Amino acid sequence: MALVLSTMLQQQQHLGRIDKPPRLQYFFDATEAESWMSEQELYMMVEDRGKDEISAQNLMKKHASLEQSVEDYAATIRQLGETARHLTSEQHPYVDAVSLKQSQLDKLYAGLKDLAGERRARLDEALQLFTLNREVDDLEQWIAERELVAVSQELGQDYDHVTLLWERFKEFAQDTAAVGGERVAKANGIADDLIHAGHSDAALIAEWKDNLNESWQDLLELIDTRTQMLAASRELHKFFHDCKDVLGRILEKQHGVSDELGRDAGSVSALQRKHNNFIQDLMTLYSQVQQIQEESAKLQASYAGDKAKEITNREHEVLAAWANLQGVCEARKAKLADTGDLFKFFNMVRTLMLWMEDVVRQMNTSEKPRDVSGVELLMNNHQSLKAEIDTREDNFAACVSLGRELLARNHYAAQDITDRLVQLTNSRNALLHRWEERWENLQL
């Protein structure tokens, strides 16, 4: 039958007839429709989904145009259907052929639309895959750039430097966690949706997702490690900074120790009170020295080798300076005590010397007796002087004892003390000699 129809059509065309009978025109149009739809089928069955997002978008645009042409071609198929129904109702010859042809056209058109939908679905999947791929690639690149910061081994040159690094990295870690966490969660959500929707590349998508999450976890671990390293470095440099600060305070205090000894007992007493206050003020500094010791013990438990040695050296440097300051303070305290005792000794010597001078003057200025009663009066007065001299014996003993004690301490004014002791002893001996001499004269 088809061969007959084809032959008839060819004959009509050969004769150049323009007006065709309805049945022949129908078969002619049907053949044209079949040819067009078959050509469109070839396009719809193409497997090319593009190599990237841009090429997939171009293919989608092209497909949308073809799909619209297929949609528009529905009018042609409906028109052919109307013609077929009309021919069938008029009981034209070849009714069965017309019905069969229209049935084939309807099936072919329906199949074409199905192919168009399948082609669109494949291109949609491709676009979704390429979009996810772009997001994952961008995120992987972003993670790689962040890793360059996280793997840095720079730990600072001093406390201020490491503190700056620590603060900047803290901000970096917070920003990375916030931005990266959101982006990774979004990418995971897209991947899960595609997998659950039965995407044809579900296995590949799952692989991308796993690789992305692994990279993200690696970055978080690197950030955590870097955070711990900076915190440890900051703690170490803070210890060095504190050692330097405390050492400076100790040296400053040491330079503040006065060498003034005072001019008399009153000024020495004032200086002693001032020095005691100075020592009390050192208690705050001592608590800082103790903190250095505690921090050193803590750090030495975490470090070994050169670092541990450096920690120990810094601690010992502080402790040595503190011990030296304590020694200076003790020496100052002892010297002030020696100075106070020195002025006390000088006062005792001066008091005794003035008293002896007064006694000698009394003995030298006494009038000569004129009669026996006068002699007796002078002898009684002279015996009174002897009693006064005897009562001063304890004062002399105390003064001499203090002088000898000072000499036993290796006092810085040893020569002056010795001279005063000799002077005191000589004056006392002279006093006793003068009393004996006058007593003998009175007895004559």
pLDDT, one tens digit per residue, over 202-238 is 999 999 999 999 999 999 999 999 999 999 999 999 9
How much is the pLDDT for 9? Answer: 43
CATH pick for 20-151 out of 1.10.3480.10, 1.20.58.60, 3.40.50.300, 1.10.1200.120:
1.20.58.60
Residue 71 has a pLDDT of 84
State residue 398's pLDDT score: 95
- Res 19: pLDDT: 45
Cα dihedral 10, 13, 15, 17 sign: positive
Q: Return the CATH number of the domain spanning residue range 338-443.
A: 1.20.58.60
Question: Residue 94's pLDDT is what?
Answer: 72
Q: Mapped to the 3 state alphabet, what secondary structure does the chain carry?
A: CHHHHHHHHHHHHHHCCCCCCHHHHHHHHHHHHHHHHHHHHHHHCCCCCCCCHHHHHHHHHHHHHHHHHHHHCHHHHHHHHHHHHHHHHCCCCCHHHHHHHHHHHHHHHHHHHHHHHHHHHHHHHHHHHHHHHHHHHHHHHHHHHHHHHHCCCCCCCCHHHHHHHHHHHHHHHHHHHHHHHHHHHHHHHHHHHHHHCCCCCHHHHHHHHHHHHHHHHHHHHHHHHHHHHHHHHHHHHHHHHHHHHHHHHHHHHHHCCCCCCCCCHHHHHHHHHHHHHHHHHHHHHHHHHHHHHHHHHHHHCCCCHHHHHHHHHHHHHHHHHHHHHHHHHHHHHHHHHHHHHHHHHHHHHHHHHHHHHHHHHHHHCCCCCCCHHHHHHHHHHHHHHHHHHHHCHHHHHHHHHHHHHHHHCCCCCHHHHHHHHHHHHHHHHHHHHHHHHHHHHHHC
User: C-alpha angle with apex 247: 244 to 252, nearest 5 degrees?
Assistant: 125
Q: Measured between alpha carbons, how far is 150 from 169 in angstroms, rounded to an integer?
A: 8
CA distance 412 to 272: 18
CA distances from 350 to 269, 344, 419, 421 (A): 20, 10, 13, 11
pLDDT of 39 reads 83
Which regions of the chain carry the CATH code 1.20.58.60? Answer: 20-151, 152-234, 338-443
| Residue numbers of the chain with a pLDDT score lower than 50 | 1-19
pLDDT value of position 369: 63
* CA dist., res. 226 & res. 151, Å (int): 7
Tell me which fold the domain 152-234 belongs to: Methane Monooxygenase Hydroxylase; Chain G, domain 1 (1.20.58)
